[in-house]
Amino acid sequence: MSPSSEARAEFLAGVRAELPLLLGVVPFGLIYGVLGLAAGLPAWAVVLSSSLIFGGSSQVVFAQLFGAGVPPPVAVTTVGVVNLRHLLYSAAVAEYLRALPWRWKLLLAYLLTDEAFAAAIGRLRDGPATPWRHCFLLGTGFTLWAGWQLSTLGGVLLGAAIPAGWSLDFSIALTFIALLVLAVHRRSEAWAALAAGVTVLLTLGLPHKLGLLVAAAVGVAVGLGLRRFDRRAA
């Protein structure tokens, strides 16, 4: 198989791996489009934020803070804190992408969000170490990006036409539950997720969403501490 064929095969495999997750992403994007307009953001800003921020939970937080009249520095800082989870994703995939040139790293860093990471980490971690495996992540990331942009635009176009009785908010929780199920493969990962979840509940009162950072740190510590048991079991 030629290099171009291998790259295309990896990319298409990434697309196929990401498509099922769009079942949760599309309603999430529709919700954000509606919430953004309801918060007072102009339509162009709602759509543009899906490219600039490109993080569903961060964008929802941003729209809520904008609607509440929170000062811009506080809103920007809070969105940055929520998006810090992407540092964990970057650390998880760094060893598999170390040999890539910077232009590839920058592109993949932009596309490395929740669902793209969840769909690609298994391939990067457990699949064959081919020179084109990064194209799998490109396929998951591009598919997610395209689905998110289109669904946000759909939410803006539909706007208030979506009945409040539909209660589409549930899709946000379903999206992250699906990510959790896909990401947990080992005992240490299950305990890490449980520890992070309990920590989030215990730190809900912290300002500026700092409980997310605390929970992430606890989850990482628990996961690293228990990895030796995974090795023994293997």
Q: How many CA atoms lie within 13 A of 29 on its CB side?
A: 24
pLDDT in tens, the chain (234 residues): 566 888 999 999 999 999 999 988 888 888 888 888 877 888 899 999 999 888 887 888 788 778 878 778 877 877 777 777 788 888 889 989 988 999 999 999 999 998 899 899 999 988 888 889 999 999 999 999 999 999 999 988 887 566 656 655 565 566 567 667 766 778 888 898 899 889 989 998 887 667 777 887 888 888 878 877 776 655
- Percent of the chain topping pLDDT 70: 86
- What is the structure's pLDDT at 233? 57
* Model pTM score: 0.72
The CA distance from 128 to 6, in Å, is: 12
Residue 98, judged by CB atoms within 10 A of its CB (0-12, 13-18, 19+), counts as: exposed
Q: CB-based contacts of 113: which residues, under 8 Å, 6+ apart?
A: 54, 55, 86, 89, 141, 144
- What is the structure's pLDDT at 131? 87
